[in-house]
Structures are given as C-alpha cells and as structure tokens.
Structure 1
Amino acid sequence: MSSAPAPSARRPGAAVPAAVWVDGALVPDGHPAVHALDHGLVVGDGVFETCKVVDGRPFALTLHLRRLERSAAGLGLAAPEEDVVRAAVREVLAALGPAAASARLRITATSGPGPLGSERVPGAGTLVVAAAPLSPWPAGARAVTVPWTRNERSAVAGLKTTSYAENVVALARARERGASEALLANTRGQLCEGTGSNVVVAVGDELLTPPLASGCLAGTSRLLLLRWAAQEGLPVREADLPYEELGRAPEVLLTSSTRDVQPLAAVDDRPLTTSALGRAAVELFARRAAQDDDPQP
C-alpha cells in the first residue's frame, strides 16, 4: 500500500463523497490504496458487482454475491469470503453516512499484484468495496446501436469482469450521440445486451429478453423480472431475437441494478412507446423490490 499523499483535486465528474475499503480497512477518500502492479489494473484480471443502496441497505446483495462467486470461478479466481465482504459493505455504508440513502455499491475482487504479463501470483488477491451517491436515471432515456459485437463464445462470456474496455468504447459512442446506453449484437447477429444492462423488447403481446446463450450477462434485475413476472402471470420470457428487432420494436426496456426496469424513449432517434404491459413490468419490479430487498437465489 502506498503512503503517497492524496491528490488535491478530484477528477471532473467524480462522485463525492465516497467511502472506500481495501483489504481490511477503510481508506481516506482519494488516497491511493491498490498496488500499482495489481492485475485488476495491469491486465483486467478481476471480477466485480454493482448494486444500488436504498435507505442504507444494498438491494439483492445475496444474488450479487452469488454472481461474484460464479464470475470468479469462471476466471479461476478464489472468491472472497462472504462474511468478509458483508462486513466490508457494512463499514463502507456506515462511513458514507446520510449519502447511503441512495447510493451505488461496488465490490471488486482481483487476482492481486503480479508480473507485467498475464501470469498470476498464486495466493495473491485484492478486495475493494466502495460506495458513492447514486443519481437517478433521467426520464426519457435513449439508447443507440453500435457496430461492435459480443463474442458469445468468449472465455469470459457471461462473466462480470473488470475487463471493461469494450464497454467503455461503446458507451462513449452512445454519449457522443446523446444517449445513455449502447446496445450490442453477438457474433450471430442476435440481440445480446447493453454495456451495463440487459435489454427487453416488446414483440406482439409479450416482452422478450435474450437468453444467456446469447452471451449476455445474467443480470440480477433481469433474473428478478423473469421470476416475478412468471409468478404473477405477466408475459415476460427469454427468446432469441435478431438484432434488427431494435429497428422495429414499438417498445424497448432496459434492466440493471441501478435502472431497475426502465422504458426507453428512443433507440437511434426512433421514438418508442410504453405500453400497458411495459408499465406493468415497471410497477411489478418496483412493488416486489420494495417488499423484499434481499431476494434469495
């Protein structure tokens, strides 16, 4: 751990205040605390989870921790001990104070410091838990299509890894076009997902979302929407969809840990509507989430 002084200026747009915990202790906001040769930084060898915090309580934390374990196993990493993570979460949210009323919580586990190549050092590992205030997504969110694809046959397909550069590039393209999300196909030309969301499309009298075999992430909000819709008889299910469906669907929604279920106002400047079924999906998720803030796997 470095003892260098904290920088005096924050990066423009950085969330403040923030609370950060690294490998057993809270770290003053802005202080460097991760080894410069940590493989989460050097080669993106790590996994993470993000969940929203409401009134000081993280939503669906158990589901996020199970997915963290699956992602770590997919990379061949040892998942951090759950009791340690939960204790760190409590410390971070307590340190965040009143800002924890509406916050974003991120849990990151990497393979730890290593050489300047892809080889790992056995037994190394870094755990970071951080939280910062969460601004609500604005109404009228828009998305765009982009020319890049998800590789559904990748070694890391479906894993939530810190190797996020292709998402950063795609999201930057969306921001340049005044949108908040970019939607991607897979290599088979099927609809896959957004850079940080799952996508749900209205087709006929149903809401359809790509299956996990498309290469998309097994989103927690996606899982809960499918589960709760099945329990309450709402026609929401998985189905393969051509990417071109985004150009003709009357309604498109996004699901994510910070968006919950959010109807889009437009895709590629093509206006969209929100049907009674779409509104029912939004209402269902909000109602069931309010009833149980830690649904079990």
Structure 2
Amino acid sequence: MKKLCKILGLNQSLDDDIKVKVNSALKDEDIQYGRKVLKLIVSEKNIVTCIRTNTYQREDYKKGFTVAISNVRRNETSPFTYHKTLNYGDCIMEKRHARKSGIDEPVFLNTKGEIAEGATTNVFFVKNKEIFTPPLSCGLLPGIIREYLLHTFKIQEKIILPEDVTKYDEMFLTNSLLGIMPVRKMEQHVFESMTIGTRLSQELFQG
C-alpha cells in the first residue's frame, strides 16, 4: 500500500493512522471469526475502513467454483492492472453478469488472447501434480496468496491459452479473502480432480 501511494503520488502518512483504524475494526467479533471481512481504502484525503459480510461458504470449497471466459479483455499494458486500486469497474460488472448466468468467477484474457486472471482472483492450473500460473506479464494483479504460493511451492509461470485448459487435471483460484478455491468446471470442461487445490486450501486455513 505504501508503494502504491508513492506511485500514485498520494501524500498519506499510513503507519499510525492505519494501525489505529485497523486495530479498532479487528475488535469486531464477526471479523475475528471470519463471518465478516475488513476492507481498507486510502485516498489523498482519507483512510476508510469498511466491514462487510464474508460471502464465501464452506460448501463452495467442497463443490468447487464454475468459471467462464469473459468477453472483456484485460489490458496488460496498463499500469493500473498490476496494482490494487478502485479502478475495477470491469471486474464488478463482469462478476455481476457472470453470477446471473450461474458462473462463480469470470476469467479475463489479455489483449493477446492469453489467460490473465479472474475478476477477483489469480488463476492456477495443475498437470501431473505440477502447478502452473500465468506470469505477471500477461496482465494481472500479484495477489498476496499468489505470492505466498510462489515462494512456498515449486510453481512454474507459463503462458496459458484458453485452448490449453483441457490439457490440465485441475484448476484453482486464489485471493486473500477466499484463500484457495478449487475449480470444478471452466466453460464446458469439467476437471478430473480438485485434490491439490483442496489440499492446499486446507493447509492454508490450518496454518
């Protein structure tokens, strides 16, 4: 957050202000037990904490997500693609549109037709127990859980095209709220397994 404030030229002193606001919000029992989640927003004038209900349920992890390719393309040439800002109108609109069609998460391709990321997630694929994920150059947010997995496990960054998806045994999604979410189906392709995604998810929550 400090790095992004510097990039955007936001003159905010984060240390003390954020510590007070976050510590106050974390006293909420619903946040402590994961029923609600905390969101922190920083602007030139304000530091705002928002609390909302955690919509992810245990059943979601058992059945796995259903995902589909969005018609909207991710712009890998935009600097905003690589930072978490409020500039995510495409993600909100595509997420709403997907849910109306029974899709849990839309997946964006970049302008070259390569798989980039989900509307709110990073994407991973598994083949013969090896894990793959698109490189940052495909145009994606370097999420916290993505970075954790890359530093903890042997994961290969690889350009993946939509037509490659059927070659993989598994797929899973990550972000700091849902952790690691196994994917059951992408478009018409049903993955053979959710074993590794489920195991990593359980290990993350237990840790």
> TM-score category by the smaller chain?
0.7 to 0.9
Question: Is 1:245 matched with 2:164?
Answer: yes
- Distance between the aligned counterparts of 2:6 and 2:164, measured in 1? 34
- Distance between the aligned counterparts of 1:253 and 1:127, measured in 2? 33
* Structure 1 contact 199–255 (Cα < 8 Å) conserved: yes
Quick one: which amino acid aligns to residue 104 of structure 1? V
Question: Judging changes above 3 Å, is the alpha-carbon distance between structure 1 residues 238 and 97 closer, same or farther for their aligned structure 2 residues?
Answer: same
**Match of 1:97?**
29
- Distance between the aligned counterparts of 1:160 and 1:213, measured in 2? 16
Superposition pairs for residues 71-86 of structure 1, below 5 Å? 71-86=4-19
Shift of 1:270: 2.5
> Mind listing any 5+ residue stretches in structure 2 that lack a counterpart?
none
Question: Is 1:262 matched with 2:186?
Answer: no
- Distance between the aligned counterparts of 2:155 and 2:204, measured in 1? 12
TM-score when normalising by structure 2 = 0.87
Shift of 1:228: 1.7
Question: Judging changes above 3 Å, is the alpha-carbon distance between structure 1 residues 166 and 135 closer, same or farther for their aligned structure 2 residues?
Answer: closer
* Structure 1 contact 74–156 (Cα < 8 Å) conserved: no
**Match of 1:54?**
none
Shift of 1:161: 0.9
Q: Partner of 2:86: helix, strand, or coil?
A: coil
Question: Judging changes above 3 Å, is the alpha-carbon distance between structure 1 residues 74 and 210 closer, same or farther for their aligned structure 2 residues?
Answer: farther
Q: Partner of 1:73: helix, strand, or coil?
A: helix
> Mind listing any 5+ residue stretches in structure 1 that lack a counterpart?
1-67, 112-124, 230-234, 291-297
Superposition pairs for residues 73-222 of structure 1, below 5 Å? 73-94=6-27, 96-102=28-34, 103-111=36-44, 125-137=45-57, 138-139=60-61, 140=63, 141-222=65-146
Quick one: which amino acid aligns to residue 90 of structure 2? E
Q: Partner of 1:157: helix, strand, or coil?
A: helix
Q: Deviations over 1:121-171 (max 9, x none)?
A: xxxx21101223323342322111111111111131201110111111211
**Match of 1:69?**
2
- Distance between the aligned counterparts of 1:250 and 1:268, measured in 2? 15
4+ long deviations beyond 4 Å: none
Count of aligned positions: 202
TM-score when normalising by structure 1 = 0.62
- Distance between the aligned counterparts of 1:179 and 1:145, measured in 2? 10
Question: Judging changes above 3 Å, is the alpha-carbon distance between structure 1 residues 91 and 274 closer, same or farther for their aligned structure 2 residues?
Answer: same
* Structure 1 contact 228–284 (Cα < 8 Å) conserved: no
More helix as a share of residues: 2
- Distance between the aligned counterparts of 2:174 and 2:107, measured in 1? 12
- Distance between the aligned counterparts of 1:74 and 1:214, measured in 2? 21
The alignment's C-alpha RMSD in Å is 2.1
Superposition pairs for residues 14-25 of structure 1, below 5 Å? none
Shift of 1:99: 5.0
- Distance between the aligned counterparts of 1:69 and 1:214, measured in 2? 24
* Structure 1 contact 174–181 (Cα < 8 Å) conserved: yes
- Distance between the aligned counterparts of 1:209 and 1:129, measured in 2? 32
Q: Partner of 2:192: helix, strand, or coil?
A: coil
Larger Rg computed on CA atoms:
1
